[in-house]
Amino acid sequence: MLHLDPNELQTPELHGYLLGAIGPRPICFASTVDEEGKVNLAPYSFFNVFSARPPILIFSPARRVRDNTVKHTLENVQAVPEVVINVVNYAMVQQMSLASTEYPKGVNEFVKAGFTMEPSQTVRPPRVKEAPVQLECKVVNVVSLGAQGGAGNLVMAQVERLHINQEILNAQGQIDPEKIDLVSRMGGNWYSRAKSGLFEVAKPNSDLGIGIDALPRAMRQSKILSGNDLAQLANVSALPEGAHEHSGKDINAQKKAKQFIEQGAIEQAWQVLIQE
């Protein structure tokens, strides 16, 4: 048994122990806007529901460990105290991960990750149409937990409107855990799928992934490649040499590329799509 004093650990090491031990953690996929109305979309796994009446959710955009800067989400909710918390299921997990890329302020992660912006009814930030549940919230309080890198900021959000895809409901009108197919965060690259256990998602490209919007049109319009497939192909810093607007048009090439993607062989999938 290890006996550790957190005050004697470096922040990355402490962070790793905590995230490895406390899980699975639900994912808050937060859409916010700044004072100019520019949209931001980012996931957070320091998140849960804490009250039903009033309906209060809390998530925490922590200060970055490496340089002690704050997330765009935190800046936005302090300027415009509204947020939509979108629930993440397996069908959108790779796109969600791509949206966590630290794009410059003003870049719309909905576009980069290939999500559809759906207008909200009570708040300004848009909803993620693909999310099985979307919760429009007013931010009632933000509590800073510290000024050092790694310190959290508790965003307390009161639910004003719920949007639930009827396809995830059972015969009694309740959310069916099999149908909603939730995913959650573990430590490192690990996630947990409620239906089937652990799986890995590669972290976003540190050089900034090109985003789904930068993929060749034929691939973006594919009926074979899913949003999760496209997100993995878009997690590259530049289009591979030889790629062009019509790359990936061939259906058989798309099917073969999808098999490579399912094996985690993204480079081979790109080569199939380029050489078809």
User: Quick one: tokens of 113?
Assistant: 């990750």
> Which pLDDT does position 50 carry in this prediction?
97
Nearest 5°: the CA angle 54, 55, 56 is 105
CATH number of the domain enclosing 68:
2.30.110.10
Same domain, 165 and 221: no
16 occurs within a structural domain: yes
Same domain, 78 and 151: yes
189 occurs within a structural domain: no
205 occurs within a structural domain: no
User: Quick one: tokens of 9?
Assistant: 């650990």
How many angstroms separate the first and last alpha carbons of the chain? 55
84 occurs within a structural domain: yes
199 occurs within a structural domain: no
Same domain, 226 and 157: no
| Of residues 273, 244, 239, the one with CA closest to residue 256 | 273
193 occurs within a structural domain: no
Same domain, 128 and 258: no
> Which pLDDT does position 68 carry in this prediction?
87
Domain stop point among 129, 154, 179: 179
CB hemisphere CA count around 173 (13 angstroms): 0
> Which pLDDT does position 276 carry in this prediction?
59
Same domain, 158 and 216: no
Structural domain including 92 reads: 6-179
Domain stop point among 164, 179, 194: 179
> Which pLDDT does position 275 carry in this prediction?
82
Same domain, 155 and 33: yes
Same domain, 171 and 251: no
> How far is it, in rounded angstroms, from Cα 226 to Cα 219?
10
> Which pLDDT does position 144 carry in this prediction?
96
Same domain, 147 and 241: no
pLDDT digits (tens, 9 = 90+) for 151-184: 999 999 999 999 999 999 999 999 999 999 999 9
Same domain, 158 and 71: yes
Same domain, 163 and 228: no
Same domain, 173 and 243: no
User: Quick one: tokens of 227?
Assistant: 């949003």
Domain count, the chain: 2
201 occurs within a structural domain: no
| Of residues 95, 129, 100, 127, the one with CA closest to residue 114 | 95
Residues of the chain with pLDDT under 70: 276
- Say if residues 84 and 161 touch (Cβ distance below 8 Å): no
> Which pLDDT does position 165 carry in this prediction?
98
Same domain, 148 and 242: no
pLDDT digits (tens, 9 = 90+) for 209-226: 899 999 999 999 999 999
> How far is it, in rounded angstroms, from Cα 25 to Cα 70?
21
192 occurs within a structural domain: no
Domain stop point among 125, 156, 179: 179
